[in-house]
Amino acid sequence: MRARRLAGIRQHATAARRLDVVARMSFPTITTAALLLLLAAPLGLPGQAQWQQAGALCCVFFWGLFRPASMPPLAVFLLGVLADLLDYAPLGLTVLTFLLAYGLALRWRRGLTRLGFLLVWFAFISVAVASAALEWAATSLLSFHFLPVGDALLEAGIAIGLYPLLAIGLTRAHQTIADPDLA
């Protein structure tokens, strides 16, 4: 079989192989959607809406940075719509913040992927704070008065604290997606 590969003959892709490729490519989007749905369930967590936004933001930034081909902009858009619908947020606000976070991850991708985790986390901290500030400002503007800043600070704090925990599992998933022999 190795001789055929070296000779330039490609093997026929079986249905199982195609299914495996589709599953690997859709894993980031499906797991982020599952996290959104899980955190939308009545779990009784204090600040549960902020947990939902923060968790999805962590996933969007991570996958945008380390595996953007598996989470295209259309998937980020649809995840933002799902988050807006589940959270009863103004439609389009979470879409905007997710797409901006994804865009920054793509823009910083070359530099950040070569650096250590601490610098990636600091970059995410700036994204989380900017995202929470944008959501607070837009919601305040839409309601025609300044809302309390506490919810935005809570969301940013949850995202900042949650990113290292999620990054451990997502890094392991990323490695096994890239190399199935590690699974």
The residue type found at 117 is: F
What is the DSSP track for 7-19? TTPPPPPPHHHHH
The contacts of residue 153 (CB under 8 Å, 6+ apart) are 132
Strand (E) positions, 106-161? none
Of 6 and 174, more confident:
174
How far CA 100 is from CA of 60, 93, 94, 130, 151, in Å, comes to 10, 11, 10, 10, 20
Segment 16-33 shows an average pLDDT of 85
User: What gap in Å lies between CA 101 and CA 139, rounded to an integer?
Assistant: 18
pLDDT of residue 79: 96
Q: Are 52 and 40 in contact (CB under 8 A)?
A: yes
Question: Mind listing the pLDDT tens digit for each residue in 128-162?
Answer: 999 999 999 999 999 899 999 999 999 999 999 99
Q: Give the domain extent around 104.
A: 2-182
pLDDT above 60: residue 87: yes
How would residue 1 be classed by pLDDT, with cut points 50, 70 and 90?
very low
pLDDT above 70: residue 2: no
User: What gap in Å lies between CA 145 and CA 120, rounded to an integer?
Assistant: 35
Number of domains in the chain: 1
